[in-house]
């Protein structure tokens, strides 16, 4: 919204700086950071007054249950801190276009089921929250809505049908059929929504890894919209996506503010309110700038966490059916709990996963030049 002030630069020269997306990205990050720092203590205090903590010890963690005794009253729904900071900052600094609108639509829409899930868990003491089918149905509707808008708008209708993969300097599919398009966006929006949700199990783990992934896609969104850079790097040129860099800046600022309160020992938990929406937002942005497969590498920690659950559940069911007794690959899934079971302190697990996330992020940036 404030980007329009650049039109009045003839009356006040410094306003011309708002024409530059890099300037607005920095301002968006700082704005989200300030908003997060401002509303964080107020929301946390309000959550505590309303007793919006977990309120019970999740006995499914087994031996780890004792580890979380001191966390049972830590407020949940902290994802609202990120949401308010990011949404307000993005609206202020990003110039509206179809890419921005779809991103914010997905982010806001997926915050709703996450908020409902947390509400059922912390207020109604329903450990399971919303049903899996309700969550999948909501995620599916959001995905269909996002795809419908992208196919309807003339700026995105043609570009969104292209399929690009790392290490190839041209689109391997120029015009994806609707069913292929739907399957791809569904996998990335829903898949990464659930992947970040599974990663959100230790203080600072999910939000710290989110920051590194967002930094990568902020750079990629900017490059995709730059005629010279996209041509030089032999990647897809998608006009208008550099505004997603502004959203990424806001997301980094909001996540940094949240990490301030979520670092060990956490004062607030992100909950499904934050994790479901963050995964969907990153997934749809990767899809729109034609870097969906790069997200698998950049978000390697999230992929590892998701695969650990899939492997654990799948192997347990197979061995139970085959041998009568279920067997496990990991001591506990998701993977971060496996290392805790091995005796790693929570802070060591988080820091080492952050290191892995940074390594995956650097590797994904390297793919830009490898064609």
Residue 68: pLDDT band with limits 50, 70, 90: low
Q: What is the mean predicted confidence (pLDDT) over 56-83?
A: 68
Q: What is the pLDDT of residue 54?
A: 56
pLDDT at position 212 is: 97
User: According to the per-residue pLDDT averaged within each range, which of 11-25, 70-84, 137-151, 161-175 is highest?
Assistant: 137-151
pLDDT tens per residue across span 187-203: 999 999 999 999 998 99
Which residues are CB-neighbours of 362 under 8 A, at least 6 positions away?
A: none
- pLDDT(350) > 80: yes
In which band, very low, low, confident or very high, does the pLDDT at 57 lie, cut at 50, 70 and 90?
A: very low
Using DSSP, state whether 213 is helix, strand or coil. Answer: helix
231 versus 19: the higher-pLDDT residue is 231
Q: Averaged over 357-369, what is the pLDDT? A: 93
Q: What is the mean pLDDT of residues 132-146?
A: 91
Secondary structure letter of residue 16 according to DSSP: G
pTM for this entry: 0.92
Mean pLDDT of the 329-352 span: 93
Q: How far apart are CA 181 and CA 163, in angstroms?
A: 9
Residues 6+ apart with CB under 8 A from 96: 1
Average pLDDT over residues 15-40: 92
Percent of the chain with pLDDT over 70: 92
Closest among 303, 294, 307, 304 to 361, alpha carbons compared = 294
Query: Does residue 9 have a pLDDT over 50?
Result: yes
User: pLDDT tens across 305-323, in order?
Assistant: 999 999 999 999 999 888 8
Two tokens at 329?
């690959």
Least confident of 96-110, 112-126, 215-229: 112-126
Residues 139, 253: Cα–Cα separation, whole Å: 26
Cα(191)–Cα(266) distance, integer angstroms: 26
Q: Per mean pLDDT, which range of 163-172, 209-218, 351-360 is the poorest?
A: 163-172
At 123 the pLDDT is 74
Neighbours of 360 (CB within 10 A): 23
Per-residue pLDDT, averaged over 45-52, amounts to: 80
């Amino acid at each position: 919204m404030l980007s329009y002030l650049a039109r009045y630069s003839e009356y006040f020269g410094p306003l011309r700086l708002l024409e530059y997306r890099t300037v607005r990205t920095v301002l968006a990050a700082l704005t989200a950071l300030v908003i997060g720092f401002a509303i964080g203590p107020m929301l946390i205090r309000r959550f505590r007054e309303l007793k919006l903590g977990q309120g019970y010890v999740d006995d499914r963690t087994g031996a780890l249950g004792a580890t979380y005794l001191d966390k049972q009253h830590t407020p949940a729904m902290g994802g609202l801190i990120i949401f308010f900071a990011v949404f307000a900052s993005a609206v202020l600094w990003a110039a509206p276009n179809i890419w921005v609108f779809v991103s914010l639509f997905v982010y806001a829409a997926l915050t709703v089921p996450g908020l409902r899930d947390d509400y059922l868990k912390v207020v109604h003491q329903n450990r399971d929250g919303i049903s899996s089918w309700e969550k999948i149905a909501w995620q599916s509707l959001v995905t269909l809505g996002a795809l419908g808008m992208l196919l309807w708008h003339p700026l995105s209708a043609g570009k969104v049908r292209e399929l690009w993969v790392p290490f190839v300097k041209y689109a391997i599919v120029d015009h994806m059929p609707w069913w292929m398009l739907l399957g791809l966006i569904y996998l990335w929006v829903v898949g990464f929504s659930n992947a970040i949700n599974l990663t959100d199990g230790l203080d600072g783990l999910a939000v710290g890894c989110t920051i590194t992934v967002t930094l990568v896609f902020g750079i990629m969104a900017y490059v995709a919209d730059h005629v010279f850079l996209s041509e030089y790097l032999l990647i897809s040129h998608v006009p208008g996506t550099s505004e997603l860099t502004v959203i990424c800046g806001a997301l980094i600022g909001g996540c940094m503010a949240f990490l301030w309160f979520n670092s060990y020992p956490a004062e607030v938990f992100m909950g499904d309110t934050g994790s479901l929406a963050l995964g969907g937002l990153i997934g749809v942005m990767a899809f729109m700038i034609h870097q969906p497969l790069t997200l698998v590498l950049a978000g390697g920690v999230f992929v590892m966490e998701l695969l650990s659950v899939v492997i654990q559940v799948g192997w347990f069911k197979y061995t139970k059916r085959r041998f009568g007794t279920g067997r496990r690959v990991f001591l506990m899934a998701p993977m971060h709990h496996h290392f805790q079971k091995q005796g790693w302190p929570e802070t060591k697990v988080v820091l080492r996963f952050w290191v892995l996330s940074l390594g995956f992020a650097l590797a994904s940036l390297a793919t830009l030049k490898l064609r």
